[in-house]
Amino acid sequence: MAGPDPLKLGLIAGGGPLPLLLAERCAAAGRPLFVVRLKGFAGAGFEAFDNAEAGVAELGRAIDLLRRAGCGAVCFAGIVARPDFAALKPDLRGLKALPGAVAAARHGDDALLRYLLAEFEREGFAVEGAHDVDAGLTLPEGPLGALAPGPEHAADVAAALAVARAIGALDIGQAAVVADGLVLAVEAQEGTAAMLGRCAELPAAVRGSADARRGVIAKAPKPIQERRMDLPVIGPETVERAAAAGLAGIAGEARGVLVVDRARTIEAADRLGLFVVGVAEPGAAR
């Protein structure tokens, strides 16, 4: 077995469209790749890549697969729900990591993710974030599509980003909706789609409509967040749901939010009349 290739990426794939997108970008860039599909989470479509399946607690199997494939780097991508620890079927290496994982989980999702990442670093892998693998995946500063937020949206953009960061600091979630200064919804475990869905059901008086859009959804990484995992994501579905909730636009922290399927995201925003804007983190270098 040859030594690991620092360039060869082991992609640990959870749910949602991001992992396949990343795999395709790696292939397009000529970067060698091996995909570990997480059982019960990873979607279909990885047939074009070297790949294998592993359970979320089969840490030994995942590490072994990545070593045999010669991967020097790993990247976690996609959605993995917090496991029911009692129902896990860990392998030996997973069993060794389990007490630490359970203890970390007590301190929140972010602590759990940081613990898992550190386990892979302890095994000698370089851990990359999705935005390290492809910098073009993150939201740039400024408007993404044809529309830009107007002065009438500035206060809601700022407030929604501030609330998203504040709840992130409390390890609650990464997204919030504000319309005319009123916090309509805050994301916790239900996720962004469900949060936007309930905004659409709020009384018409507090929200906007397709004819008179108002309000902003903002997404930002948790200030304490390990940015190599679990960056917030926006995509065409976010735009569609924000539009259905009567919102005027989407704001994300520039370079802190992943854009899944940029072309379709822009197409949906322009078609539905929403802005999508990246806003620099306060104090960040431009």
- Where on the chain is the footprint of its own copies (CB under 8 A)? 81-84, 87, 105-109, 155, 163, 166-167, 170-173, 176-177, 180-186, 188-190, 194, 198, 201-206
Q: Strands 71-77, 249-253: parallel, antiparallel or unpaired by DSSP?
A: unpaired
CA atoms within 13 A on the CB side of 17: 15
Q: Smallest distance, Å, CB 156 to its own copies?
A: 10
DSSP lists the bridge partners of residue 143 as 277
* C-beta atoms surrounding 41 within 10 Å: 17
Q: Identify which of 94, 130, 100, 125 has the alpha carbon closest to the alpha carbon of residue 115.
A: 100
Answer yes or no: are the C-beta atoms of 25 and 137 closer than 8 Å.
yes
Q: Smallest distance, Å, CB 30 to its own copies?
A: 38
Q: Smallest distance, Å, CB 177 to its own copies?
A: 8
Q: Which is nearer to its own copies, 41 or 49 (CB)?
A: 41
Q: Which is nearer to its own copies, 47 or 201 (CB)?
A: 201
Give the number of residues written for the chain: 286
DSSP structural state of residue 233 = E
Q: Which is nearer to its own copies, 126 or 200 (CB)?
A: 200
Q: Smallest distance, Å, CB 96 to its own copies?
A: 22
Q: Which is nearer to its own copies, 59 or 167 (CB)?
A: 167
